[in-house]
């Protein structure tokens, strides 16, 4: 049985990607990084699988989402 997808928070995403906070949000706006999902009224996070796919191949992630 596959492990459930974890939700990771901003600090973890920044550490794993090496991006700055402003670059991360710019990439989200451009559609070149996975958007966060709302997990509570004031909280948001990213699906770990989406972030891992982006880390593995950032260019393919964008192409995959455009079509």
For 49, what's the count of Cα atoms within 13 Å in the CB-facing half-sphere? 5
> How far is 39 from 30, CA to CA, in rounded Å?
22
* Cα 58 from chain centroid (whole Å): 11
Joined together, the tokens standing for residue 56 give 């593995």
Task: Name beta bridge partners: 7.
Answer: 47
Q: How much is the pTM?
A: 0.83
> Distance between CA atoms of 35 and 58, rounded to whole angstroms?
14
* Per-residue tens of pLDDT for the chain, all 67 residues: 566 689 999 999 999 999 999 999 999 999 999 999 999 999 999 999 999 999 999 988 776 655 4
């Amino acid at each position: 049985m596959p492990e459930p997808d974890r939700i990771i928070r901003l600090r973890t995403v920044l550490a794993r990607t090496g991006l700055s906070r402003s670059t991360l949000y710019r990439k989200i706006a451009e559609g070149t990084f996975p958007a966060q999902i709302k997990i509570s009224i004031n909280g948001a996070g990213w699906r770990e699988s989406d972030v891992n796919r982006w880390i593995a191949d950032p260019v393919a992630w964008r192409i995959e989402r455009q079509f």
